[in-house]
Amino acid sequence: MRCLWESHRRGILVTLGLIGLLVLFAIASPRTFLNPRIYRSFLSTIPVTAILALGMTLLVVVGEMDLSFPSVCAAAAYVFAKAFLATGSGAVSFVLAIASGAIMGWINGLIVVSIGVPSIIATIGTQFFWRGLILLLSDGIALSLASVRGTDIYSLFVGRMAGEIPVQSLWCLAIALGLALLLNRHPFGDSLLFIGDNRKTAAMMGIPVAKVRIKAFILMGVLSAFAGVLATLELANWWPTQGEGYMLLVFASVFVGGTSAYGGEGTIYGTLIGAIIIGIIEAGIVSAGLAGFWTRLVHGLIIVVSVSIYATMARRPQDR
């Protein structure tokens, strides 16, 4: 029992946090939070930020950041929308969108790894660049994809299973499971952990450091593209400022989940729960009768409190 607590205490804490919040919201507004409708709505909105946060977790583990993902989401979704309007083929458009995400991630990787620009700076640059490019190409005008409703790709990614469950939530769970295996049970994940822990050690022990870091950026690009396509499909609409609200939510999910900002360790499960916590707060606050303006304040509070708890836990006796 003690052993279980020792090895999973972050996971247990963040799960208790989520349960506590749900109980609190259910007491404050039972009509909303004891009704399945709100949960159906969560299952369609949370997967987008959760998928982004899952990819970001791997990047944080390897000691990098990607601030360009909101623009990569929007740019890849723009590729999807344009391709769909031109060809009418969901499969072709999807493949093109994912490929564009991979290329944008690869470019981030090249700038950071091959040229040597710190990732936080490089990806601020690419964030502006891709956003600027799609604003130019689209003239700042949204694209309606009404014809995508009812197509195969629509049902595959954002349909409703058994008429109830938004399918994107299952995709999100599958991605979480896949990334958890990748991080904890695959040699690639092991390389991420060691590079994030100590890049020199990793290189001395024969890990192909540059390749692994670039691949981590490509993976983030692919997941950003997927999240962008999900958001566009769900609303059957592409809009040029898509993704702009995601930045803080995604980083909050990662750090509330218990992943260390120093790299070398991270938890996929924690990030998933963190994304749910961050995703339900707004609804909880509004349905409790408070003004929506409270949302940010509470987000901020939860982030500061959770990372402070983790920092206290990580402190070893000799540091005190």
Partner 1 sequence: MEAMVEMKGIGKSFGSVEALKQVDFQLNPGEVVALLGDNGAGKSTLIKILSGFHSADRGSMAIKGREIDFKAYDVTVARSLGVETVYQERSLGERQPLWRNVFIGRHRLNRWGLIDVKREKMETMELLSSVLGLRGAGLSPDASVETLSGGERQGLAIGRAMHFGADIIVLDEPTTALALSEVGKVLSFIGSIREDGRSCIVISHDLGHVYKVADRFVLMDRGSTVGDYRKGDITPEELMARMIGLNGEVKP
Among 94, 154, 157, 194, binds partner 1 (CB under 8 A): 194
DSSP state of 261: T
Instruction: Considering only the stretches 50-58, 62-70, 150-158, 199-207, report the one whose residues sit in contact with partner 1 under the rule CB under 8 A.
Output: 199-207
Distance in Å, CB of 131 to partner 1, minimum: 36
- The reply on whether position 207 binds partner 1 by CB under 8 A is yes
Distance in Å, CB of 220 to partner 1, minimum: 22
DSSP state of 161: E
Compute the distance between CA of residue 238 and CA of residue 82 in angstroms, rounded to an integer: 9
Q: Which two tokens stand for residue 255?
A: 């750090």
Cα 254 to Cα 2, 55, 245, 308, distances in angstroms: 26, 10, 16, 14
- The reply on whether position 7 binds partner 1 by CB under 8 A is yes
Beta-bridge partner residues of 165: 161
Among 20, 88, 118, 187, binds partner 1 (CB under 8 A): 187
Count of other CB atoms within 10 angstroms of residue 128: 13
Distance in Å, CB of 316 to partner 1, minimum: 7
- The reply on whether position 11 binds partner 1 by CB under 8 A is no
Distance in Å, CB of 6 to partner 1, minimum: 9
Among 121, 161, 204, 210, binds partner 1 (CB under 8 A): 204
Q: Which two tokens stand for residue 221?
A: 């690009």
Compute the distance between CA of residue 144 and CA of residue 81 in angstroms, rounded to an integer: 8
- The reply on whether position 297 binds partner 1 by CB under 8 A is no
- The reply on whether position 205 binds partner 1 by CB under 8 A is yes
Here's the x/- map for partner 1, 233-272, by CB under 8 A: it reads as -------------------------------xx-------
Do 49 and 275 contact (CB within 8 A), yes or no? yes
Q: Which two tokens stand for residue 163?
A: 């008429």
Burial label for 272, CB within 10 Å (0-12, 13-18, 19+), is buried
Q: Using CB under 8 A as the criterion, which residues of the chain lie in contact with partner 1 when the complex forms? A: 7, 181, 185-187, 190, 193-194, 197-198, 200-207, 264-265, 316
